[in-house]
């Protein structure tokens, strides 16, 4: 994303230099030792804990919280990592308010759950600071597996396979490993280069080689991989972006929210990152919220999220919606874009109010217009780059070779959550191991 003569309203440096450091600091600081012990003491340590069921990776939450309460956070971290090897980043980005914490008995009884996410972060941060990897490899099996995609699913799969004694080659099309964790989440959720630190820590298991700049279909084919390796895991994510399907979406200033977030995540100097004065984000998920909030933090004066359905249908959690509102973002529901207005570059977006009935969404004749020099599309991503004819189903064999597994966002029914991708990668690794070892 670069400023050009066609986008005069999109400029860098809207704020004083010191404001960027403050705005993009860790939005939820870590617990210290005393705070963690106090938070852990609130847990009932339920025998039949609903929080475990609500966790996509089935972490034994009462056990790791008890380990924190008894002063052994390193043991707590190992409990977490045995189920979720990316527990550090998940503690930062998981919508715990709609998963484990929503199921917490304390939430039911008092309206305030145990702070499971923050406790998970405390344990994993303490253990990672020690620098020692908690798992060792089994004896080498001589089996070689290719993992395509170094996102949460691919990394989780690679680690579990390496731990079982297999040799793993990870092929990643981008310059860095990490996938969504590195390129797709709000900068203030994972500060200090944490995503890369966690990748480096994960690789301490040994037996994993990561090759960046390698893209499936361009540099290597699935047939080549199935010929050269004993098994293949595809965790290629969702590289395509849905079209707005509104007149004027090709105007300058109309961009994909995922590209904006990725550029922000890789920016060395946020003061040089251009942003509009009036920003409109179209969508209702986490990507929409992350793009909107970060636009505001970069200095945009007016930021509005517009979603075509009602608030209850937004995939962004209530917590994230509240966070956006607190950051000064306006959220409009039940409105769909009709056209982007402008002469060469975006100047405004016209919306029509919507209603939902038996026949789906209907646009009314009543419209309104929002001023916008920058428009972000956050209306979902699509599968792109998958080999033709491949049956894409999470955790299952795909294709005629019987050697291919799939997981993460690229899989049918993917939930667009880091923690779900981790679970699918882990489970696929166990399935691959079981098949290879008979």
Q: Give the chain's domains with CATH numbers.
A: 33-130 (1.10.1060.10), 144-239+383-436 (3.50.50.60), 242-380 (3.50.50.60)
Q: Which helix (H) or strand (E) holds 114?
A: none
Query: Is 231 buried (19+), middle (13-18) or exposed (0-12) by CB count in 10 A?
Result: buried
**Is residue 195 a contact partner of residue 89, using CB atoms and an 8 Å limit?**
yes
Q: How far is CA 236 from CA 152, 173, 287, 380, 414, in A?
A: 10, 9, 18, 16, 12
pLDDT in tens, the chain (438 residues): 544 445 788 999 999 999 999 999 998 889 999 999 999 999 999 989 999 999 999 999 999 999 999 999 999 999 999 999 999 999 999 999 999 999 999 998 899 999 999 999 999 999 999 988 999 999 999 999 999 999 999 999 999 999 999 999 999 999 999 999 999 999 999 999 999 999 999 999 999 999 999 999 899 999 999 999 999 999 998 887 888 989 999 999 999 999 999 999 999 999 999 999 999 999 999 999 999 999 999 999 999 999 999 999 999 999 999 999 999 999 999 999 999 999 999 999 999 999 998 888 999 999 999 999 999 999 988 877 666 656 555 555 455 568 999 998 888 655 678 999 999 999 999 999 999 998
Residue carrying the six token digits 């961009």: 255
Distance from C-alpha of 246 to C-alpha of 238, rounded to nearest angstrom: 22
Distance from C-alpha of 156 to C-alpha of 170, rounded to nearest angstrom: 11
**Is residue 327 a contact partner of residue 304, using CB atoms and an 8 Å limit?**
no
Distance between alpha carbon 419 and the CA centroid of its chain, in Å? 9
DSSP result, 261-290 = HHHHHH-S-GGGS-B-SEEEEE-SSHHHHH
DSSP, collapsed to helix, strand or coil, labels residue 434 as helix
Distance from C-alpha of 343 to C-alpha of 357, rounded to nearest angstrom: 36
Pair of tokens at residue 101: 């914490």
**Is residue 199 a contact partner of residue 193, using CB atoms and an 8 Å limit?**
no
Read off the pTM: 0.94
Q: Is 195 left (phi over 0), alpha (psi -120 to 50) or beta?
A: alpha
Pair of tokens at residue 429: 């690794």
Distance from C-alpha of 281 to C-alpha of 299, rounded to nearest angstrom: 15
**Is residue 172 a contact partner of residue 211, using CB atoms and an 8 Å limit?**
yes
Residue carrying the six token digits 């009314």: 364
Closest CA to 143 of 234, 228, 224: 228
């Amino acid at each position: 994303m670069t400023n050009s003569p066609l986008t005069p309203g999109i400029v860098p440096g809207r704020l004083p230099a010191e404001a960027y450091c403050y705005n993009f600091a860790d939005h939820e600081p870590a617990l210290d030792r005393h705070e963690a012990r106090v938070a852990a003491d609130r847990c009932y340590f339920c025998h039949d804990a609903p929080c475990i069921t609500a966790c996509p990776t089935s972490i034994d939450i009462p056990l790791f919280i008890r380990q924190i309460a008894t002063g052994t956070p390193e043991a707590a971290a190992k409990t977490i990592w045995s189920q979720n090897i990316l527990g550090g980043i998940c503690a930062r980005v998981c919508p715990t308010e709609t998963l484990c914490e929503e199921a917490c008995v304390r939430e039911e009884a008092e309206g305030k759950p145990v702070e499971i996410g923050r406790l998970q972060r405390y344990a994993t941060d303490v253990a990672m600071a020690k620098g020692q990897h908690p798992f060792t490899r089994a004896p080498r099996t001589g089996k070689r597996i290719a993992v395509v995609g170094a996102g949460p699913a691919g990394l989780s799969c690679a680690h579990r396979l390496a731990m079982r004694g297999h040799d793993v080659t990870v092929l990643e099309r981008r310059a860095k490993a990490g996938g969504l964790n590195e390129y797709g989440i709000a900068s203030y959720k994972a500060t200090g280069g944490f995503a890369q630190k966690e990748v480096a820590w994960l690789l301490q298991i040994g037996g994993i080689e990561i090759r960046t700049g390698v893209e499936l279909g361009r540099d290597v084919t699935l047939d080549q991989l199935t010929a050269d390796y004993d098994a293949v895991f595809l965790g290629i994510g969702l590289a395509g972006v849905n079209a707005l399907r509104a007149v004027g979406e090709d105007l300058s200033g109309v961009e994909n929210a995922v590209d904006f977030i990725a550029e922000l995540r890789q920016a060395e100097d946020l003061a040089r990152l251009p942003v509009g004065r009036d920003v409109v984000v179209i969508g209702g998920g986490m990507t929409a919220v992350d793009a909107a909030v970060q636009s505001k933090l970069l200095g945009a004066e007016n930021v509005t999220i517009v979603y075509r359905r009602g608030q209850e249908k937004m995939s962004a959690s209530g917590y994230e919606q509240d966070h956006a509102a607190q950051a000064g973002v306006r959220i409009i529901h039940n409105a769909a874009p009709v056209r982007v207005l402008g002469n060469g570059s975006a100047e405004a977006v016209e919306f029509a109010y919507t209603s939902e009935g038996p026949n789906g969404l209907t646009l009314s004749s009543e419209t309104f217009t929002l001023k916008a020099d920058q428009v972000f599309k956050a209306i979902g991503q699509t599968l792109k780059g998958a080999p033709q004819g491949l049956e894409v189903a999470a955790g299952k064999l795909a294709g005629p070779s019987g050697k291919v597994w799939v997981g993460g966002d690229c899989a049918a029914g993917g939930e667009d959550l880091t923690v779900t991708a981790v679970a699918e990668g882990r489970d696929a690794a166990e399935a691959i191991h079981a098949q290879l070892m008979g």
